A and B are shown apart, each in its own frame.
Chain A
Amino acid sequence: MGRQPLGGQPVGGLDVVGQQMGGQPVGRLAMGRVTVGGIRVRVDAVAARVVLLAAAHLAVTATLNGLAVDDSINAAGMAKTLALTIAFTVVGVLPVNVEHGRHAASFTLVDAVLVVGFFLVPQPWALVVAAAMGEVVACAVQRQRLIKVVFNASAAMGAVTLSARTFDLLPTPDATHPATWGVTFVALLVYLLLNHASTSAVLMVVEGRRFHDLFLESLATAVAATAVCGAIGLSFVVLYAAAPGAPLLLLPLGIVAFLAFRAVASHRSEMLRFKRLYDASSNTASLRDIASTLSTLADEARSLAGGTIAVAAAPDSRGRWYGVLVGDGFGGPLRAETTKAIVHEAAHGSLEVPLDELPAVIARLAPGAKDCVIASSTGGAEAILLVFREVNDGHGAARADVLSAFAAHAALAASNSRLFEEVEASLRRQIDLHRQKDEFLAAVSHELRTPLTGVLGAVVSLRRLGDRLDATKRERLCELAERQGIRLKRLIEDLLLVAAAESGSAAIHLEPVEIGPFLAKVRAPRENVAVVIEPGAPRAVRTDPARVTQIVDALLDNATKFAPGQVEVVAAAAVGGGCTIAVRDHGRGIAPEDRERVFDRFVQLDQSSTRSQGGTGMGLYLSRQLADLLGGVLTVEETEGGGCTFMLALPDQPERAIAPESDTSDDEGRRVVTLTSAATPEEQP
């Protein structure tokens, strides 16, 4: 009796058989026949329709049997019914997996038991009860979900009722008569078609495919399976008719066949493991960023270990563990503490852990799971795979082995991803740098043109106008040429300094600088600038006085240029050591949206006054670069009551000069190399 028809599509068939061979009943449906991956999730959405189908079966059963529940049953009949129930249960629990080439099918011997029932149990309803009970017990043993039990049992009852009724058309069954065999096969065909239709209907509901396609897809295989089962059942009945003990003669044949099937199945299962491992490795071999690689790894781990939810974790390009969870239709990165707990758990090696022995932070990821399989790679590269399983079928350890083999590949894939990310990032940096250089060159050429026009224009005018110029005008032109020449010179000096600061090659000479005298000296050539030393300000900091002078000069230039009136320079203690120097003006201030922009190259919020003051448009940009170089921070904020305050925070540098690199260790003892933010413009906020 059997059925289930898995061989219609070679690949689908292999997958389905593979799951059954692994002994994993997740997703088995409809009288223990077809295994549908992922049904657990989808059945909920369609549960109502499945229940409707089951109700239809029960209605057919009740109608047909209701007309005939007139016979009573004796003790012998009861015993036979009980024996049949046990037989239905046994064959339901032990599916037979057959394969030929790339085709594979899995069926149960339910049909054979049904044939025996036709002959041994005269009351159809007793046969129906036996089949339904057998189905329920078999499902219970396999821990199927309730909805599957209900559907399978109802489908069995409907199909058995109809086929038994068909068989009853035979007035006097004679097991030894070929005509009886014919009727038996007709009855079995009725059973087959009904059962196949039920299975196709439920698959249609669950998978959303067309009934017609599903029905025809594996019909041939089902018919073949039923024919085989029918022959086996009839052999039993014929032997029983000859002598009640005769069927026992079939037992050795049965045992041999069973063992042979088992051997093939385990071989097949090994093959499938390799195939899946190979597929999983191929699927994750492409070069991508670490997050999507981990996501694919988790997905593959899921199918390798037969679970619904999986986690893949590996160190990212900064050496920090990064975990990604994948489930049916959901997934995403894990929180750092969850990943940390998984890393901790994986330290024990590859193993199977019951869910209640896991730390809560991990267990809550898959509340419905029964156990989880953890595997981590050994050796240099690192990766951890964790799969939550919904069954505890005793295959966990074997799954852990497969997962462990895959973990080595996962580690490789993760390390490729890291490499890929690093190369990509460095390429992006290069392109950025290139673009910035182009922009810089265009801007510089533009900035150089204006003073050059002044110098050239003045000199040419002196020559071409000659006698027509009086002494005053001559002097005006000379002054003009000189002024624009100086501007050109300052521009070039600033450009050189900017280039040096940007490449980090600007020399820094650290020495103790006494704040009070230092600021007094910077202030000296200016009017309207007051120096304020707040209480608590450090007496001296160790820094580069020449660079700080450049910064404060630029800030004071800027303030006096744009905010006529009193300007204060305020020194105070910085949070976390060092000292802050604030240049506070009371001018028009800067609109909030422009505050960061003033630190860009060549940005002149008010061009006319900049030019009239001979500014280069680089003072604030250069100042920020220099502040970075000194390990400090330069920001701008609003002055209370109007105007703006530029705030320079300077650290008290240690004796050692600023190193190009500093090594630190993160909390997990890994070495992290950080480049100092030596003035790369893209790192600015």
Chain B
Amino acid sequence: MNNTTVRRVLVADDDPDILDLLTLNLECHGYQVHPAADGEEARALALQLVPDLIVLDVMMPKLDGLEVLAALKAHPQTREIPVVMLTAKASDSDVWQGWQAGADYYITKPFDLDELMRFIGYLQVNSAV
């Protein structure tokens, strides 16, 4: 991991409390966090900032997480960015849909913060290599 650059993370969730929770944790781990409250904002910010990592909630107004994911994977600038999907939908078919759409990680609410942070760290190490 390259410690000299601050990793930038885009977090999108329509529930302000969840957004706050993720922001707090990521900041404490030394990330620079850019919050987005809906899908459209998330897509616009991703294209503008080209962050190192994106955390997307699936159920969001305007554009849902899967639509944002598809848009990001279709764009050459954002195609390579690792994406973690968050969802309160827990059925097998929902999870499968997420993986199919090209998510790098798929985690259901209520999520284990330790696991999520560990995985985000792992993704960062990999992309640094």
Contacts and interface: CB of A to CB of B under 8 A. Distances in A.
A40 to B, nearest CB: 63
Interface residues of B, number: 26
A473 interface: yes
A476 B90 contact: no
B24 A461 contact: yes
Interface in B1-56: 14-18, 20-21, 24-25, 28, 37-38
Interface band, chain A: 20 to 34
A242 B54 CA distance: 125
A438 to B, nearest CB: 12
20 contacts: A449-B88, A450-B15, A450-B18, A452-B109, A454-B18, A456-B110, A457-B18, A457-B110, A457-B113, A460-B114, A464-B25, A465-B24, A469-B24, A476-B20, A476-B24, A480-B17, A608-B14, A608-B37, A608-B61, A611-B16
Nearest to A607: B61
A446 interface: yes
A20 interface: no
A445 B90 CA distance: 9
A461 B22 CA distance: 9
B20 A449 contact: no
Interface in A590-619: 606-608, 611-612
B88 A477 contact: no
A220 to B, nearest CB: 72
Interface in B59-91: 59-61, 88-91
Given A445-B90, A453-B109, A477-B24, A484 B17 contact: yes
B61 to A, nearest CB: 5
Contacts of A456: 110
Given A453-B18, A454-B15, 11 more contacts: A446-B89, A453-B21, A453-B88, A453-B109, A453-B111, A457-B18, A457-B113, A477-B24, A484-B17, A611-B14, A611-B16
Contacts of B20: 476, 480
B73 to A, nearest CB: 24
A468 interface: yes
Contacts of B18: 450, 453-454, 457
A607 B16 CA distance: 12
A483 interface: yes
Contacts of B89: 446
B110 A465 contact: no
A461 B15 contact: no
A458 interface: yes
A457 B111 contact: yes
Contacts of B110: 449, 452-453, 456-457
Given A453-B111, A465-B24, A607 B59 contact: yes
Nearest to A462: B24
A580 B71 CA distance: 50
Interface of B: 14-18, 20-21, 24-25, 28, 37-38, 59-61, 88-91, 108-114
Interface in A442-497: 442, 445-446, 449-450, 452-454, 456-458, 460-461, 464-465, 468-469, 473, 476-477, 480, 483-484
Contacts of B17: 454, 480, 483-484
A464 B114 contact: yes
B61 A464 contact: no
Interface of A: 442, 445-446, 449-450, 452-454, 456-458, 460-461, 464-465, 468-469, 473, 476-477, 480, 483-484, 606-608, 611-612
A606 B61 contact: yes
Given A469-B28, A607-B59, A607-B61, A454 B114 contact: no
Residue among B16, B108, B111, B113 with the most chain A CB within 10 A? B113
Contacts of B113: 457, 460-461, 464
Contacts of A468: 28
A446 to B, nearest CB: 5
A483 B91 CA distance: 27
A607 B24 contact: no
A612 B17 CA distance: 8
A390 B16 CA distance: 82
B16 to A, nearest CB: 6
Contacts of A469: 24, 28
Nearest to A469: B28
Contacts of B60: 607-608
Residue among B14, B16, B17, B114 with the most chain A CB within 10 A? B17
A480 B20 CA distance: 9
Contacts of A611: 14-16
A230 B51 CA distance: 112
A484 B61 CA distance: 20
A464 B29 CA distance: 11
Contacts of A464: 25, 113-114
Contacts of B91: 442
A293 B21 CA distance: 66
A534 B90 CA distance: 51
A607 B112 CA distance: 24
A606 B24 CA distance: 26
Contacts of A608: 14, 37-38, 60-61
Nearest to A483: B17
Residue among A457, A461, A480, A608 with the most chain B CB within 10 A? A457
B87 to A, nearest CB: 9
A445 B17 CA distance: 19
A465 B21 CA distance: 12
Contacts of A460: 112-114
B115 to A, nearest CB: 10
Contacts of A442: 91
A446 B88 contact: yes
A450 B109 contact: yes
B16 A612 contact: yes
A606 B14 CA distance: 11
B90 to A, nearest CB: 7
